[in-house]
Amino acid sequence: MSPVVGAGTVEYEWMTWPEIAAAAAANAPVVIAVGSTEQHGPHLPVSADWVVPQALLRLAAQRRSFVVGPPVRLGYRSRPASGGGQQFPGTLSLRATTFIAMLEDLLEELIRTGFRRIVLYSWHFENANFVYEPAYLVSGRCPDVKIVVVENGMPDFADADLDVLFPDGFPGLALEHAAVIETSLFEYLRPATVRMDRIVDDAPARHVPWDVLPIDPSMSTPTGVLASATQATVAKGELLTERIVDHIVSILDGEFPALDRASMLLSTDEGR
């Protein structure tokens, strides 16, 4: 039986070691969703920042061949102005040095396995820069390996899409925490996990382009939602999914020559 999960997706976590070795030998790209475990309001699970990108990668892998890698479930510290902040129970964060070291080890292990085309696809806003650093360090030691670092998993949305998604105006990605985008994606991709009766709109008392320590509660909200979540819909989630999957595929098409799916699956079959 081929290591296929749903419509031809090749997923690392469900592959055997010979299948993984064969995919690497076939020069398949491997894409790692780099997320976090972070509060996402009273209506979304704390797994949002790795569950959503992993689901999007699975859909992208139905359109072109790559290995959907194991998601990174822990990320850098949550901040009040973009993730609600470390004061919320349930958020599990890593310090920068631990996070960087973990990704550095992960990259080296993938390279040891034989992968030479790697994408780090980050969803958690606060991971920015800390995803690039381990990739830079590993690249210096392994210049024959191409590592693509995607620190913003969102595409640039067309004005027509923004009008549909945010008819009252786009608040910006930082404030879109547990709000329209993530709630709509969950309603479309993982509807059974959304606590529909707990969806709320909220807004911080102050929103400034800097951080304050000790944590200033007025820069976050009591619910952890930083903007409107009640305006989320399944239809918006479908639109977002289409645009983001297009974005993922365009990155892979632009950076790596396409690998024929049949050849990749045949290679993994032969590897057993």
5 Cβ contact list (under 8 Å, min separation 6): 11, 14, 58
Neighbours of 105 (CB within 10 A): 12
Q: Are 62 and 8 in contact (CB under 8 A)?
A: yes
Contact, 223 vs 202, CB < 8 A? yes
Contacts of 164 (CB under 8 A, 6+ apart): 236, 239
**Which residue from 50, 178, 209 is spatially nearest to 121, judged by alpha carbons?**
50
Contact of 267 with 217, CB cutoff 8 Å:
no
Catalytically annotated residues: 38, 40, 49, 124, 126, 177, 182
Which class for 39: exposed (0-12), middle (13-18), buried (19 or more C-beta within 10 A)? buried
